[in-house]
A and B are shown apart, each in its own frame.
Chain A
Amino acid sequence: MTLEEDLRVTLHDRAAAARPPAADLLTEVTSGVRRDVRRRRLTAGGAGVAVVVAALAVPLMRHDADPPRPQPLPAASPSLPVGWERSMWAPAPFFPLRPTWVPADLGTRPEVLQMGPNEVLRYERNGDVLTAEIGVVDPAWDAETTGEHATEVNGVPATVRTAGAGPGDRYVSVRWQMPEVGGWVQVTSRGRHTEAEVLRFARGLDGGMGSMAGTSLAPFVFGVLPVRVSTQYQSPDQVCLTDRDVTRRREPDGLCVLVADEPFVGGGERVTVAGRAASLRLDSGSLVIDLGGRVLTVTWDPGRFPLSRDEVLAFAGGITYRR
């Protein structure tokens, strides 16, 4: 049997053999529902206080760390949900280190990505990818690395991890700490570049501390936003916004907007957003808008980032897709 066939048999065997637990599920769930109802009643009683605290805290947090944001436009159209504002905002993260040497075959126009609190400078051409990531969260190593050794980057101890058989299938990653920026720097190459080239690029990142190596405007402009959010993630086809509670996650999280080259498939509640057909699933947190051969998807976690129908539609209706 193939591995896939073994997997199929294994999973079905395990599911069939799973013993029923001692507790009755309905009894347990009924108890849970009662506890949930009580908790929500208590929470509803304290909601007024929570809203006031959040409203006061937002300007301070934004002043502290966000790039300047344009002032909201005068409200000319119907009123927005409470806690939302009009704006014309396109996130634009910047990478704070300037590379002084880049492999010639990677070109000179990198993308800048936001991954939680980390920023990433990314070169990609013909399947070769070279990234530099900086931030307070440890960047990830590839799970399949096979080699590790020590080196130095401009006098700072660093670790190199490698994998892959040779040109075209080579993984090289070097990581070191940069206390002056309060975190890690990691340079990673996937493709043809050698460890010597990766280290040369990494060591060259020292030139220009504080200068702006590059920035990439988000693919979307947001015209209607919750006041409490900032960029959590940005790539060429996706932007996620979140509140300040979750800042250490590198993966997309929060209120996310993504464009994909996929056909629109209906389902859920049929709605219209800016004249385009869309499918809304409020319970599971998704709104898919037909762009004609592509779809723009808005997703959120209803449990952690609850949005009303009006809020979702106001947010989506204010998005401008730039590509």
Chain B
Amino acid sequence: MHSGFEDYVRARGDSLRRFAYLICGDRHLGEDLVQEVLVKAYRQWRRIEADQPDRYIRTALVRSHVSWLRRRSSGERPGTVPDEPAAGDFTEGQALRDELWARLGGLTRAQRAVMVLRYYEDLDDRQIGDVLRCSPSTVRVHAARALARLRADLATATIEEVRP
């Protein structure tokens, strides 16, 4: 196997797994996604290696996850992937963040990807558009709808919580 590829996987593997976990919302799906993308990337590693491999792989992770073909073949539907709470003190803030994490599962894959790229990767709308192969204005539409959905979901959850 190409030594540069092995070095890359050793050095960046965990970071890619974390990113894929955020994109998928499920650790096992994220793991499958990373493996699938890296196997495909190996075919063209010499070219990828010469031009920002991390950016290439992360873009491929997002596109692959959002793509219709993978969604169909994986046999699962987006939006129903609850996961265990993050470790830490169960404060009010933590409870909110657990709720928020669960509600991210209600977004479409494209909306979720925009949230992760914007708030985890700190990419601007143009960069996100490059990743998702859409215009910055489409990115803004995804973001606005995602945030509106999250706000509405969180408000509903709060109302249900305070009901006797």
Interface size class of B (residues with CB under 8 A): 35 or more
B133 contacts A299, C-beta separation under 8 Å: yes
B9 contacts A29, C-beta separation under 8 Å: yes
B35 contacts A4, C-beta separation under 8 Å: no
A7 contacts B119, C-beta separation under 8 Å: yes
Contacts of A303 in B (CB 8 A): 40
Residue of A nearest to B38 (CB): A29
Which residues of B (132-164) have their CB < 8 Å from a CB of A?
A: 133, 135-136, 145, 147-151, 154
Contact bitstring A266-292, B, C-beta under 8 A = 1, else 0: 001000000000000011101000000
Q: Which of B1, B43, B120 contacts A30 (CB 8 A)?
A: B1
B14 contacts A283, C-beta separation under 8 Å: no
B38 contacts A10, C-beta separation under 8 Å: no
Residue of B nearest to A251 (CB): B68
Contacts of A16 in B (CB 8 A): 18
Q: How many whole Å from B50's CB to the nearest CB in chain A?
A: 11
How many angstroms between the C-alpha atoms of A144 and B150 in the bound complex?
12
Contact bitstring A231-272, B, C-beta under 8 A = 1, else 0: 000000000000000000101010000001010000010000
Contact bitstring A1-21, B, C-beta under 8 A = 1, else 0: 101101111111111111111
Contact bitstring B68-101, A, C-beta under 8 A = 1, else 0: 1100000000000000001110000100110011
Contacts of B19 in A (CB 8 A): 15
Q: Is the C-beta of A206 less than 8 angstroms from some C-beta in chain B?
A: no
A18 contacts B17, C-beta separation under 8 Å: yes
Contacts of A36 in B (CB 8 A): 39-40, 42-43
How many angstroms between the C-alpha atoms of A137 and B101 in the bound complex?
32
Q: How many whole Å from B14's CB to the nearest CB in chain A?
A: 6
Q: How many whole Å from A165's CB to the nearest CB in chain B?
A: 14
B1 contacts A8, C-beta separation under 8 Å: no
A143 contacts B150, C-beta separation under 8 Å: no
How many angstroms between the C-alpha atoms of A299 and B131 in the bound complex?
12
Q: Is the C-beta of A26 less than 8 angstroms from some C-beta in chain B?
A: yes
Q: Which of B14, B28, B40, B150 contacts A20 (CB 8 A)?
A: B14
Tally of chain A residues near chain B (CB < 8 A): 45
Contacts of B60 in A (CB 8 A): 284
Q: How many whole Å from B116's CB to the nearest CB in chain A?
A: 6
B1 contacts A10, C-beta separation under 8 Å: no
Q: How many whole Å from B64's CB to the nearest CB in chain A?
A: 8
How many angstroms between the C-alpha atoms of A35 and B88 in the bound complex?
40
Task: Given A13-B86, A32-B38, A32-B39, answer yes or no on A3-B147 (Cβ-Cβ < 8 Å).
Answer: yes
How many angstroms between the C-alpha atoms of A283 and B28 in the bound complex?
26
B18 contacts A15, C-beta separation under 8 Å: yes
Q: Is the C-beta of A322 less than 8 angstroms from some C-beta in chain B?
A: no
Q: Is the C-beta of A65 less than 8 angstroms from some C-beta in chain B?
A: no
Task: Given A29-B9, A304-B69, answer yes or no on A10-B35 (Cβ-Cβ < 8 Å).
Answer: no
How many angstroms between the C-alpha atoms of A20 and B28 in the bound complex?
11
Task: Given A25-B17, A25-B34, A299-B133, answer yes or no on A14-B86 (Cβ-Cβ < 8 Å).
Answer: yes
A11 contacts B35, C-beta separation under 8 Å: no
How many angstroms between the C-alpha atoms of A262 and B119 in the bound complex?
24
Interface residues of B (CB under 8 A from A): 1, 6, 9-10, 13-14, 17-19, 21-22, 27-28, 31, 34-36, 38-40, 42-44, 47-48, 51, 56, 59-60, 63, 67-69, 86-88, 93, 96-97, 100-101, 104, 115-116, 119-120, 133, 135-136, 145, 147-151, 154
Interface residues of A (CB under 8 A from B): 1, 3-4, 6-21, 23, 25-26, 28-30, 32-33, 35-36, 143-144, 249, 251, 253, 260, 262, 268, 282-284, 286, 299, 301, 303-304
